[in-house]
């Protein structure tokens, strides 16, 4: 009798620990969202390197369990394994490490050979500030609005870095939103590009870029670092690591370090970042009206950013001589989803002229967008912290 009571009571207790006993509708919805992300990544090939870890992270973060059991397994429970991984997001360690990898993988030659493309990267940041104003109008606090608006930069690490500092309670939604829109670049940008350009403009052939010497490529990260961080020291973690990574690449003497920063280290950080960002979207935190607003604002910011990039190229073309005109199809690449946006510019260019290869030209504004969004994040951080 005693043994039966023992078994029954312990079995009941065990049942109370299971996910079935603790599941909420929110958990189920989020698990479905997570699986949808994984499907998008694998089936549709939308940023699989990011969406697979984020998707699985969403599933992992929404597995229901008894929170009061003190199991120390949840993301928001001190000393749990996931919590330790999450510190990299909360304290802002991962984004600069990702930037190190980006720097180590990025070739800035296109930008150096045609420096006016840098300005397109600056113009595309207008999406951030447009979204900031609308977020304020919707009733968000200025620091929250700044965290949300940075989605317009289309730069996941920057969005995580800024939101972890300014609006940590919205960080999960902001990060997922930023990565979602980055994955949806091939869906969002082409219609905008068609809408804002004429056929004649799409056929513009740009002058081939001149060959850039190693000296210039070495000077770029050093000068870039000095010029940008002297103006915006608050962007130091991101800009510093970006240019450091690039110097490792271009110096020609630290190839091993550049290779590690751009491959193994970057992969480790992306895995941890994606997984923990996904985990942070627990239903109780994520399924709110704020998340809906964040997604709407993110879409708006992204559309504005892409559009202003294209329109700015058209504006520049007014002043440029005929043989130096820029194809506005590379304007969308001012947002910093590298190299996705540049690839879209190239594909669109080839669609209208099969000999018009725009990839290298589009890489200029694309990498300028990375710098621009990091500078914008630094500026906002400076204003609000």
Partner 1 sequence: MKKFSLILFAALTTLLSAYGQGARNIKINEVMTSNKASITDEYGRHKPWVELSNIAYSSYNIRGMYITTDRKVLDKSLTVPQRISMMSIIPSGDDRTLLTARTHVVFYLDSHRAEGSFYIGEKAMPNEPMWIAIYDGNAVDLIDSVSVPALKDDCSFAREKDGSVKWEIKSPAEVTPGTNNLLKEGESKVAKLKREDPYGFGIAILSMGIVFSCLALLYVFFRVLGIFMSHKQTIKKAKNIQPVKAAVAAGGLIAETGHKTKVILKDGLQSSGIDKEVYIAVISMALKQYLDDVHDNESNIITIKPHSTMWNAHIEEKHF
Question: Using CB under 8 A as the criterion, which residues of the chain lie in contact with partner 1 when the complex forms?
Answer: 111-113, 115-116, 118-119, 121-122, 125-126, 128-130, 132-133, 136-137, 141-143, 145-146, 210-213, 215-216, 219-220, 223-224, 227-228, 231-232, 368, 371-372, 375-376, 379-380, 383-385
Q: Is the dihedral angle over the CA atoms 381, 382, 383, 385 positive or is it negative?
A: positive
CA dist 230 and 28 (Å) reads: 48
Shortest Å, Cβ 222 to partner 1: 11
Shortest Å, Cβ 168 to partner 1: 14
Report helix, strand and coil shares of the chain as percent, to nearest 5.
80, 0, 20
Q: Which of residues 46 and 220 has its CB atom nearest to partner 1 in the complex?
A: 220
Residue with tokens 């608006």: 149
Shortest Å, Cβ 306 to partner 1: 16
Give the tokens for residue 329.
């199809």
Burial letters 34-51, b for 16+ CB under 10 A, else e: beebbebbeeeebbbebb
First-to-last alpha carbon distance for the chain, in angstroms, is 65
Shortest Å, Cβ 256 to partner 1: 21
Residues 6+ apart with CB under 8 A from 70: none
Shortest Å, Cβ 116 to partner 1: 6
Q: Which of residues 134 and 270 has its CB atom nearest to partner 1 in the complex?
A: 134
Q: Which of residues 58 and 374 has its CB atom nearest to partner 1 in the complex?
A: 374
Question: Contact 209/360 with Cβ under 8 angstroms?
Answer: yes
Nearest to 376 by CA among 158, 212, 59: 158
Give the tokens for residue 62.
């929404």
Q: Which of residues 113 and 345 has its CB atom nearest to partner 1 in the complex?
A: 113
Shortest Å, Cβ 146 to partner 1: 8
Shortest Å, Cβ 113 to partner 1: 7
Q: Which of residues 128 and 279 has its CB atom nearest to partner 1 in the complex?
A: 128
Shortest Å, Cβ 374 to partner 1: 10
CA dist 346 and 355 (Å) reads: 10
CA dist 156 and 86 (Å) reads: 16
Q: At what angle do helices 236-250 and 156-166 cross, to 10 degrees?
A: 150
Q: Which of residues 30 and 376 has its CB atom nearest to partner 1 in the complex?
A: 376
CA dist 355 and 202 (Å) reads: 12
CA dist 228 and 101 (Å) reads: 19
Q: Which of residues 58 and 335 has its CB atom nearest to partner 1 in the complex?
A: 335
Shortest Å, Cβ 290 to partner 1: 17
Shortest Å, Cβ 119 to partner 1: 6
- What SS3 class is residue 70? coil
CA dist 177 and 135 (Å) reads: 15
CA dist 160 and 182 (Å) reads: 14
**Residues in the chain, total:** 385
Q: Which of residues 35 and 136 has its CB atom nearest to partner 1 in the complex?
A: 136
Q: Which of residues 129 and 315 has its CB atom nearest to partner 1 in the complex?
A: 129
CA dist 236 and 293 (Å) reads: 30
Q: Which of residues 37 and 384 has its CB atom nearest to partner 1 in the complex?
A: 384
């Amino acid at each position: 009798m005693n043994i039966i009571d023992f078994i029954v009571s312990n079995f009941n207790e065990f049942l109370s620990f299971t996910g079935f006993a603790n599941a909420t509708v929110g958990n189920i919805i989020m698990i479905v969202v997570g699986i949808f992300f994984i499907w998008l990544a694998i089936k549709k090939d939308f940023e699989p390197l990011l969406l697979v870890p984020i998707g699985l992270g969403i599933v992992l973060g929404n597995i229901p369990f008894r929170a009061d059991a003190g199991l120390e397994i949840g993301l928001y429970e001190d000393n749990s394994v996931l919590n330790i991984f999450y510190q990299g997001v909360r304290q802002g360690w991962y984004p600069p490490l990702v930037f190190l990898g980006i720097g180590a993988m990025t070739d800035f030659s296109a930008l150096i050979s045609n420096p006016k493309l840098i300005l397109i990267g600056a113009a595309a940041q207008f999406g951030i500030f447009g979204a900031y104003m609308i977020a304020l109008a919707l009733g968000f606090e200025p620091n929250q609005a700044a965290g949300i608006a940075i989605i317009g930069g289309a730069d996941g690490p920057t969005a995580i870095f800024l939101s972890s500092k300014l609006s940590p309670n919205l960080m999960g939604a902001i990060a997922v939103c930023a990565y979602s829109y980055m994955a949806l670049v091939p869906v969002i940008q082409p219609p905008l590009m068609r809408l804002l350009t004429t056929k004649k403009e799409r056929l513009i052939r740009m002058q081939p870029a001149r060959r850039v010497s190693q000296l210039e490529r070495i000077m770029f990260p050093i000068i870039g670092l000095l010029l940008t961080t002297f103006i915006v020291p608050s962007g130091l973690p991101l800009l510093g690591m970006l240019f450091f990574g690039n110097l490792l690449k271009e110096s020609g003497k630290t190839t091993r370090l550049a290779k590690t920063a751009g491959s193994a280290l970057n992969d480790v950080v992306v895995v941890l970042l994606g997984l923990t960002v996904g985990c942070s979207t627990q239903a109780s935190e994520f399924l709110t009206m704020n998340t809906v607003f964040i997604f709407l604002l993110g879409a708006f910011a992204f559309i504005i950013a892409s559009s202003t990039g294209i329109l700015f190229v058209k504006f520049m073309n007014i002043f440029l001589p005929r043989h130096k005109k820029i194809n506005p199809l590379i304007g969308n690449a001012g947002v910093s989803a590298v190299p996705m946006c540049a690839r879209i510019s190239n594909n669109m260019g080839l669609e209208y002229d099969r000999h018009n290869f725009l990839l290298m030209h589009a890489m200029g504004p694309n990498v300028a967008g990375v710098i621009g969004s990091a500078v914008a994040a630094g500026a906002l951080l400076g204003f609000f912290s």
